[in-house]
Copies of this chain bind each other. A is one copy, B any other.
Amino acid sequence: MATVAGWVEAVREADARSLARVLSVVENRGPQAEELLRALFPAGGGATTIGVTGAPGAGKSTLVDQLAREYRRRQERVGIVAVDPTSPFSHGAILGDRVRMQALFGDPGIFIRSMATRGSLGGLSAATADACAVLDAAGFRRVMIETVGVGQGEIDIVQLADVVLVVLVPGMGDDVQTLKAGILEIADIFVLNKADRGADRLQQELRAMLGLARRADGWRPAIVQTVATEARGIAELCAAIADFESFQAAEDRRAARRREQWRRRLERLLRDRWYEAALAPHLPAAALDEAADAVAARRSDPYGAAEALIAMARRAAERG
């Protein structure tokens, strides 16, 4: 099984234990991770990726669970990638009694992967994207990404998801006035969760605000009220997602969005690879540290230091 071919086979069969092992290989970025992802890549693209974001405490996990149950009722296979907000201080996941239980107790149509941040935020977004790619290749038709609003989470989800749900809660500091910049733009659908607290005012304000602007693609984000703990509004949310999917299906919009997403991800990959391949090998190990020391001591400025490092690497490359 410890070969790439074996892992690819395991992903195709999509049994939970093998999937978990494959995801660990990918997540740990072992030497075979890239080979594996490349081998799996052609099998992907069939999943609808649903990103779910919102502040801690908004009830995202419960909502994702309910949505997963609803899709299971409709016989759709569901993968969940939960970017876990656990602090390294509290250790381990707070996944609680989630759908995970369902997954553990033998429903092969659902699979949950919890990605711990482990205090390190860099690399998490790449790991999340890779986990989604594996579940996609494994044939899950719904891949949900549940992310905390930590670090680049909200932005990365836009680079990854076909559908973005932004979860708000009335009276939780989520006044429309203080809505974070960027959040309004990324939502394809707003979910007003814990709506039993009364979400009508929030809904009105949101609608008024959305009325002021028009998205480039012409979509007017839907607003759905839910009480996830009581499974209320979940069917309506599924319908809103289906609406958006129909909208995206027309005029090739989903494909256009994916092309744009890939363009950005590819450029980022290209920057990193180019640095690792063509600059870093030509810099002495201590060069960056020494330059940082000089900048910190104000002996050189950062722009000059960067230029000097590039010139140094170029000379080294020319010499051989």
Interface residues of A (CB under 8 A from B): 34, 37-38, 41-42, 44-45, 55-58, 84-90, 94, 116-119, 121, 148-152, 154-155, 172-185, 209-210, 212-213, 255, 258-263, 265-267, 269-275, 277-279, 288-289, 291-293, 295-296, 298, 301-307, 309-310
Contacts and interface: CB of A to CB of B under 8 A. Distances in A.
Max chain B CB contacts within 10 Å: which of A181, A266, A288, A310? A181
B154 A269 contact: no
Contact of A266 (B173, B213, B305): B305
B269 A275 contact: no
A269 B184 CA distance: 30
| 5 closest Cβ pairs, A-B complex | A57-B173, A263-B292, A41-B301, A117-B181, A56-B178
B273 A274 contact: no
A55 B173 contact: yes
A87 B178 CA distance: 8
A120 to B, nearest CB: 8
Given A180-B56, A303-B269, A298 B41 contact: yes
B155 A121 contact: yes
22 contacts: A41-B301, A55-B173, A57-B173, A84-B181, A85-B180, A87-B179, A88-B181, A89-B213, A94-B177, A119-B182, A149-B180, A151-B154, A152-B152, A258-B296, A259-B292, A265-B302, A270-B309, A271-B271, A271-B272, A271-B275, A274-B279, A275-B275
A266 B150 contact: no
**Number of copies of chain A assembled together:** 2
A87 B183 CA distance: 8
B180 A37 contact: no
Contacts of A291: 266
A180 B58 CA distance: 13
A304 B11 CA distance: 21
Contacts of A88: 181, 184-185, 213
Contacts of A271: 271-272, 275
A167 to B, nearest CB: 12
A230 to B, nearest CB: 20
A210 B89 contact: yes
Nearest to A150: B180
Max chain B CB contacts within 10 Å: which of A258, A288, A302, A307? A302
Given A87-B181, A178-B85, A181-B117, A306 B151 contact: no
Contacts of A289: 259, 263
A149 B154 CA distance: 11
B278 A266 contact: no
Contacts of A84: 181
B181 A270 contact: no
